[in-house]
Structure 1
Amino acid sequence: MTLQAVIFDMDGVLVDSEGFWAKAELDVFSSYGVEVTEELAAQTKYMTTKEVTEFWYERFPWENLDVVSVEQKVISKVIEYIQSEDCTMSGVQEFIKNLKTKNYKIGLATNAPLQVADAVLEKLQIRNLFDTVHSSEFELYGKPHPAVYLTSAKDLGISPEYCIAIEDSRSGLRAAKDAGMKTIVFTNNDHNIKFDIADYTLSNFQEVSLAVLE
């Protein structure tokens, strides 16, 4: 297999931002009278923002469901945290720059809205390194459905079998696998994370050699 493209997930891979989503959910949905419990919040971890809003509304209906404006409040909070907190995954910019020098195509495939992806790429100052940036908000289904990966490969003009996806969750790995891609699970040095579904494991971006891809 000649690898031609590397497609990154965003939350938990480019930035350590998953805690931001939990905080934003708690702030916004609590203000609508939702009882945000850890147990229920765990079920929303890998949903799209639209799915999360509908999830809480079904359980704690508030007056005048306006998914778009409630969702936007969550998104704005997350962007606020990304802009103000130190959340960049160590070494990730250099890793991507190295991939570019080797002429790999670079993609981003995320369940998060494009607004958040734009904020992340601006914060990391790596927007120019990406050949495509795609969000599940433009698909009928988010991950674990493969749509966001299939569209990303199409946008790159590269068949999925020549793409490898870097993910940190089972749901994301499943999406990339079902799209026909090879997968790397990024653990951020957490040795308890093990996914037999992944083809390779990447602990961090500082110590990795590009030979792992080749």
Structure 2
Amino acid sequence: MIQAVIFDMDGLLIDSEPFWKQAEYDVFSSVGVEVTTDLTKVTAAMTTREVTEFWYAKQPWLGASLEDVENRVVERVKYLIETQGKAMQGVHDVLNSLQQAKVKIGLATNSPKDIIPSVLHRLNIADYFMAYSSADKVNRGKPAPDVYQLTLKKLGTEAHQCIAFEDSLGGIKAALAAGIKAIAVPHANEFDHDKFDLAPHKLRSLSEFNHHIGNALLSQP
């Protein structure tokens, strides 16, 4: 039986990835960086600090520190989430179902810790989560398993009793590396991409999930 479920955040619970792209463009352009669409595809899976270091290495700026610029990005994203954020399909239903079944619910994200409360409160889902972890608090972000391992510890759950929901390849790799069975929930334009074959199960949205799927996954060797 499923004892715990850990969710990714950006692109899975909330459609926030356009906000990150907008903030990246707004902030880095303001310090003189020429932000290109091709390179924002490269930075999409990075932590905010990694993104800041990436752009600085490409086009160093004067005046503002890396920490200051990184903080500006985070504040811009928070504002966009708090004013425009919307839940992805099935979020409230799956959380309610898990809570009724007394399954522990956690969150593991590469996003900075300051973003998490903004998302949970905007979507009115804060009360569902027993624990959450940010890549801020571990040595390595996804695809390393660190943020999942920390969340498992907070939940008091073993990896083999837990499943994870992820919308990205890096997130799936992180969950699997932590010993957790991962369910991929790719965005519609990527659903058929073979990179998601790495996950033992795949859904078009969280609304397709039921407890039979989760329990069947955990029973697999």
Instruction: Please indicate, yes or no, whether the TM-score normalized by the shorter chain is above 0.5.
Output: yes
> What is the rounded CA distance, in whole Å, between the counterparts of 1:64 and 1:86 in structure 2?
32
Which 4+ runs in 1 deviate beyond 6 A?
Answer: none
Q: Which runs of 5+ in 2 are unaligned?
A: 216-221
CA distance in 1, matches of 2:85, 2:58: 34
Give the whole-Å Cα distance in 1 for the aligned partners of 2:152 and 2:209. 24
Cα pair 2:142 2:174 within 8 Å, conserved: yes
| Distance in 2 of aligned mates of 1:74 and 1:40 | 17
Q: Which has the higher helix share?
A: 2
1:199 aligns with 2:182: no
Aligned to 2:43: 44
Report the TM-score, using the length of structure 1 for normalisation: 0.94
Q: Is the 8 A contact 1:57 1:65 kept in 2?
A: no
Measured in 1, the distance between the counterparts of 2:21 and 2:192 equals 21
Post-superposition offset of 1:39? 1.7
Per-residue CA distance 1:73-131 (angstroms, 9 max, x = gap): 11111111112225211220121011011111100000001111110000111111101
Is 1:160 the counterpart of 2:159? The answer is yes
1:161 to partner: Cα distance? 1.6
Q: Residues 86 and 123 of structure 2 are in contact (CA less than 8 Å); yes or no, is this contact kept in structure 1? A: no
Whether 1:17 aligns to 2:16 is yes
User: What CA distance in whole angstroms lies between the structure 2 residues aligned with 1:65 and 1:147?
Assistant: 30
SS at match of 1:184: strand
Partner of 2:219: none
Partners of 1:65 and 1:56 in 2: CA distance: 13
- Could you tell me which residue of structure 1 aligns to residue 138 of structure 2? 139
Q: Does the 8 A contact of 2:166 with 2:182 survive in 1?
A: yes
Q: Secondary structure at the match of 2:197?
A: coil
Measured on the aligned residues, the alpha-carbon RMSD in Å equals 1.4
Matches of 1:52 and 1:112 in 2, distance apart? 11
> Would the aligned equivalents of 2:14 and 2:85 in 1 still touch at CA under 8 Å?
no
Q: How many angstroms does 1:188 deviate by?
A: 4.6
In the alignment, which residue of structure 2 is the partner of 1:31?
30
Q: Which residue of 1 aligns with 2:112?
A: 113
Distance 1:69 1:130 in 2: 30
Contact 2:85/2:122 (<8 A) preserved: no
Mean CA deviation greater in 184-193 or 144-153: 184-193
Task: State the alpha-carbon separation in 1 of the partners of residues 136 and 146 from structure 2.
Answer: 11
Question: Sequence identity of aligned pairs in percent?
Answer: 43
**C-alpha separation between the residues in 2 aligned to 1:78 and 1:149?**
23
Contact 2:107/2:129 (8 A) holds in 1 = yes
Q: CA deviation at 1:138?
A: 0.8
Instruction: Work out whether residues 85 and 119 of structure 2, in 8 Å CA contact, stay in contact via their aligned partners in 1.
Output: no
Number of matched pairs: 213
SS, match of residue 133 in structure 2: strand
Counterpart for residue 210 of structure 1: 211
| Unaligned 5+ runs, structure 1 | none
